[in-house]
Amino acid sequence: MDSLTPEERSKRMAMVRGKDTRPEMIVRRLVHGLGYRYRLHSRTLPGHPDLVFASRGKVIFVHGCFWHRHRKGCPLTRMPKSRLEFWRPKLEENQRRDRRTRKALREQGWDYLIIWECQVTDARKLTRRIREYLG
């Protein structure tokens, strides 16, 4: 049973952002600070990657652990306690869509990096990973 009324739930879900999330902004500031330049949310590429480095043929996705189902041990990947008949298929479809997106990007010759929401807290590790990826 949901602890919120349908109106309260709708209002809360409307506040969930798809772009310019806190983890994405952390990654964007870090990448820019490292001297890399990029485009945002290219509508011409599968999955509309968060950061696009066209001259390098690389993209970065900043995924929320809950919405994109990070690994089982991640505390942010918990399953909701109510309305499982709604949430389970929705979250599984998100994973299937992500797999299709990655496949389509590879087929078009793009390389991708996924940064998970829980990984943005360790700036040193994240910096090293981005430098290794972008070269």
Quick one: what percent of the chain has pLDDT higher than 70?
90
pLDDT at 112: 98
Phi first, then psi: give them for residue 11, nearest 5 degrees.
-65, -45
Q: Is residue 24 part of a domain?
A: yes
Tell me the per-residue pLDDT of 32-90, one tens digit each, with 9 for 90 and over.
Answer: 999 999 999 999 999 999 999 999 999 999 999 999 999 888 989 988 888 889 889 99
Structure tokens at 26: 């952390």
Q: Which of 11-15, 77-81, 115-119, 126-130 has the lowest mean pLDDT?
A: 11-15
Whole-angstrom Cα distance, residue 30 to residue 34?
6
Per the structure, the complete domain to which residue 69 belongs is given by 18-134
Q: What is the mean pLDDT of residues 102-124?
A: 97
What's the DSSP call for residue 57? T
The pLDDT tens digits for 16-44 are 666 779 999 999 999 999 999 999 999 99
Is residue 98, in this structure, part of any structural domain at all?
Answer: yes
pLDDT band at 1 (very low <50, low <70, confident <90, very high): low
Indicate whether 62 belongs to any domain: yes
Distance CA 3, CA 6 (A): 10
**Domains in the chain, number:** 1
Q: Which pLDDT score is estimated for 65?
A: 95
Contact 62, 76 (CB under 8 A): no
Between the alpha carbon of residue 89 and those of residues 12, 79, 95, the distances in Å are 20, 12, 10
Rg (CA), the chain: 16
**Is 86 inside any structural domain?**
yes
Runs of H (alpha helix) within 69-122:
84-107
- What CATH number corresponds to the domain at position 116? 3.40.960.10
In a domain, 6, yes or no: no
User: Is 94 domain-assigned?
Assistant: yes
| Contact yes or no for 128/69 (Cβ under 8 A) | no
